[in-house]
Amino acid sequence: MRIATWNVNSVTARLPRLLGWLTSAQPDVLCVQELKCADEAFPRAEIAELGYDVACHGTGRWNGVAVLSKVGLDDVTRGLVDQPAYEDVTEPRAIGATCGGVRVWSVYVPNGREPGHAHYAYKLRWLEALQTTVLAESGADRPFAVLGDFNIAPADDDVWDISLFTESTHVTEPERKALAMLRETGLTDVVPRALKYDRPYTYWDYRQLAFPKNNGMRIDLVYANPAFADAVSDAYVDREERKGKGASDHAPVVVDLTV
């Protein structure tokens, strides 16, 4: 089974590339983030033509998540256990589904904006809710994984120049502690740190030639329980999909399983 995650940065703007990538990469399951469209506007028909069932959770603002599956789509859950609101809005940032016996969550963790901002405190509360949800679901024998844009670089190597981030989100101790607490629930980061590239970044800003210079960050992650992790046979970041006109600022992350 091939399972992938991709922040598409607007499913409407990225639809031709999304359809092309689904056709070429042939994932059985794709977790999608940053839809930027409401559920009723999601391009279900075009994706269904490629054989995918769709479960989405979006309101049309800058967030939104989905799971696309060729191997079944059951037990769909929208939102986390005790998920906090921001400015009185419970944002569509998490959706879970069981696909071919594998339980996946597609998550789009809040950015946090900057340390000290209300959105940063919200990010940490949101991550607590994610941990609560993982504890409620990951103990079963079935393969389980949380995939998506975590907006956190787990280690200093996961940004191109850590000295530029000393006053920024994505690398602060509380954010990384939240990831460590996720790992303490029994999850591991299953994407190898040394893939085809020395630094397998997943995100590059559109500005200042960040992608050609490889000034990136590894913030799109796959955290999995032992039943999932033990079945991983390969993993890669599809840098080719970040190239060219109309690309998302994130690349897909792909994991192959022997299930």
3-class secondary structure per residue, 170-231? CCCHHHHHHHHHHHHCCCEECCCCCCCCCCCCCEECCCCCCCCCCCEECCEEEEECHHHHCC
- Predicted confidence at residue 152, as pLDDT, reads 98
Q: What is the pLDDT of residue 197?
A: 57
Give pLDDT, residue 2.
Answer: 98
Give the pLDDT score at 194. 39
pLDDT digits (tens, 9 = 90+) for 179-222: 999 999 999 999 865 355 566 899 999 999 999 999 999 999 99
| Sequence-distant (≥ 6) Cβ neighbours of residue 199 within 8 angstroms | 157, 158, 160, 214, 216, 218
- What contacts 4, CB < 8 A, 6 or more positions away? 25, 27, 29, 30, 31, 147, 252, 253, 254, 255
- Give residue 50's pLDDT: 98
* Tokens linked to 180: 């460590």
Whole-prediction pTM:
0.96
235 vs 2: CA distance, rounded Å: 9
H helices of 4-90, in order, are 15-25, 44-48
The CATH architecture assigned to 2-257 reads: 4-Layer Sandwich (3.60)
Tokens of 160: 């191109």
Residues 187 and 107 sit within 8 Å (Cβ to Cβ): no
For the chain, the first-to-last Cα distance in angstroms comes to 6
Q: Give pLDDT < 70 ranges for the chain.
A: 192-199
Per the DSSP assignment, residues forming a β-bridge with 41 are: none
Residue among 136, 130, 150 nearest 191 (CA): 150
What is the structure's pLDDT at 199?
A: 66
